[in-house]
Structure 1
Amino acid sequence: MSVEKKRGYDGMVASGILPWFRGIAVHDFWRPYERFDVNHVYCNAHLIRELRAIHENTGQEWASDLKKLLVWAQHKKKEFIAAGKDRFSPYCCRYRIDKPFDELLASGLAQNPLPTGKGARGRPKKGKARNLLERFRDPTCQNRCRMID
């Protein structure tokens, strides 16, 4: 454990942990983490918190439905582990997680299109919902059956 003057990538390198780590790094969406050669998984608690906020602030149902899907998958995974299984079946992963996930992602993207025109200072802001949807679409987030840890 260390305390570094810099909080970003340089500080993480100076702490000496992540440069040598070769496992699965579960983290929030902070970009400096992405520079390390590890298997990245986004923290489900952070995803659920953001989905809840989007639903409460915008009323967009895809966010609530996606939150429910992630919570359901978490519970299902616990059931599978208790039954001695180490992963979802291909059927469950494809039809109970991936397919609804893709449909909800498409719905969210349709409701939150890319902004057009110019912002006051550079490109216009996408908004919190669009940014979250793009993180879900990001290849880092694509292994959904592992994402639900």
Structure 2
Amino acid sequence: MWRTSTSPASASAPRCTGHVACTPRLTWYKAHAKRGKAGMADAGVLPHFTGTTVTDAWSSYLGYGRAGALRNAHIPRDLDGVHHADPTGQQ
């Protein structure tokens, strides 16, 4: 199982994204100018990974066609967004 994430990063490029993939024992970092699939493909981990990825629901992760799991931290945030979109419908 890999946990994956992207975050803005400060590197030699003016705009850069840090791509991270990790297991409990290994961590892979890659800085890339692109945040989406181009950056993930260049990092070289997800295009070849066949296990379960733990991610947020960002569509770039979901497009790899692997088994996936959502990070627990994202579920309450998404539910909070539903509540804020229609607070009266939540009663």
Under TM normalisation by the shorter chain, which class is it? 0.5 to 0.7
- Residue ranges of structure 1 left out of the alignment (5+ in a row): 63-149
Partner of 1:44, secondary structure, is: coil
User: For residue 36 of structure 2, what is the aligned residue in structure 1?
Assistant: 8
User: For residue 21 of structure 1, what is the aligned residue in structure 2?
Assistant: 49
Q: 4+ runs of 1 displaced by more than 3 Å?
A: none
Structure whose residues are more often strand by fraction: 2
Query: Is the 1:22–1:37 Cα contact (8 Å) retained in structure 2?
Result: no
TM-score when normalising by structure 1:
0.37
Q: Which amino acid aligns with 1:44?
A: N
- Residue ranges of structure 2 left out of the alignment (5+ in a row): 1-28
RMSD: 1.9
Q: Which amino acid aligns with 1:54?
A: V
Write the distance in 2 (CA, Å) between the matches of 1:39 and 1:31. 14
Deviation at 1:61, TM superposition (A): 2.2
Q: Matched residue pairs, number?
A: 62
Structure whose residues are more often helix by fraction: 1
Task: Map 1:1-149; keep pairs closer than 5 Å.
Answer: 1-59=29-87, 60-61=89-90
